[in-house]
Amino acid sequence: MSVDDRMRAAARELNASAEHIELVERLGRFPGRRRQQVHRRVAAAFSALLLFAAAFALGLQPGRRTSEPPVTQPPVTTPPSASAVGNLLGNWSFEQDLSGWRQVGPANVTRELGGRTSGSCAFVQATTSAPARVGIVAQSVVPQARAGAAYEATAWVRSGTAGVRVVLTLVVTHGGKREASKTVTRTVSDPRWQRLDVGHRVTTSGELSVEVAVEGVSQGQGLLVDEVVVRQS
């Protein structure tokens, strides 16, 4: 019998006992022994009703062991983004800050809302009236990239200025010398996100860095950068 059925049965028993008491008292024929029996019956019914009401309120069922520990669901974990798997960059989507990156050229670099797929991105804005090359660079992504190792990088960019050149570069420096591979695109008239891809095979071991820059922009113009990924290929 369910908790609801037992509560209803106890309530009916209690009502019946109460009606019986009222009836026999009106008729004036309620012997002492019978009175005690009815009172015991009423008390038992009332106790049962209270018991099942308490069980119902606590979400318990008769026969269930209350000492059993509550069943807990395992925490829900979100798998890492596919773009982040294997990424050698710690701060690749600028969700918290700009740590690990520094500016290139005469520019202000800030973190802005409106990332490509997440909350924020990096905004590089030129600060000179003359056209300039500005951007951001993450140095020492791989402190000692070995000769013969291959790396690939991707970045998403967007600009409100159409037709300017955007360059994604993988750079290896060693002993004051520099080797690099780059890819170039031009921003489009509608300010949608554009993807750049570049690969580089190291010829001489050294420090690997990644740079995203926009060329030919003047004061107030700039570039949004998001989801920069560097992997060994």
Judge if 116 and 204 occupy the same domain. Answer: yes
Judge if 26 and 126 occupy the same domain. Answer: no
Please tell me the predicted confidence (pLDDT) of residue 184: 98
Judge if 126 and 211 occupy the same domain. Answer: yes
Please tell me the predicted confidence (pLDDT) of residue 118: 80
Q: What are residue 157's phi and psi, to 5 degrees? A: -135, 160
Is residue 86 domain-resident? no
Judge if 49 and 108 occupy the same domain. Answer: no
Judge if 120 and 200 occupy the same domain. Answer: yes
Judge if 136 and 43 occupy the same domain. Answer: no
Judge if 214 and 139 occupy the same domain. Answer: yes
Is residue 81 domain-resident? no
Q: Which residues of the chain have pLDDT under 70?
A: 1-84
Please tell me the predicted confidence (pLDDT) of residue 191: 85
- Look at residues 83, 89, 86, 130 and name the one whose alpha carbon lies nearest to residue 212: 89
Judge if 53 and 108 occupy the same domain. Answer: no
Judge if 117 and 208 occupy the same domain. Answer: yes
Is residue 19 domain-resident? yes
Which residues constitute the domain of residue 122?
A: 102-232
Please tell me the predicted confidence (pLDDT) of residue 139: 97
Is residue 89 domain-resident? no
Judge if 113 and 225 occupy the same domain. Answer: yes
Is residue 74 domain-resident? no
Is residue 49 domain-resident? yes
Instruction: State whether the Cα torsion 90-79-232-184 is positive or negative.
Output: negative
The whole-angstrom separation of Cα 59 and Cα 101 is: 55
Please tell me the predicted confidence (pLDDT) of residue 82: 46
Is residue 189 domain-resident? yes
Judge if 116 and 52 occupy the same domain. Answer: no
Q: Is 162 exposed, middle or buried (0-12, 13-18, 19+ CB in 10 A)?
A: exposed
Q: Is 101 exposed, middle or buried (0-12, 13-18, 19+ CB in 10 A)?
A: buried
Q: What are residue 95's phi and psi, to 5 degrees? A: -75, -30
Retrieve residue 137's tokens. Answer: 């660079």
The whole-angstrom separation of Cα 41 and Cα 186 is: 91
Q: Which amino acid is at 10?
A: A
Overall number of domains in the chain = 2
Is residue 219 domain-resident? yes
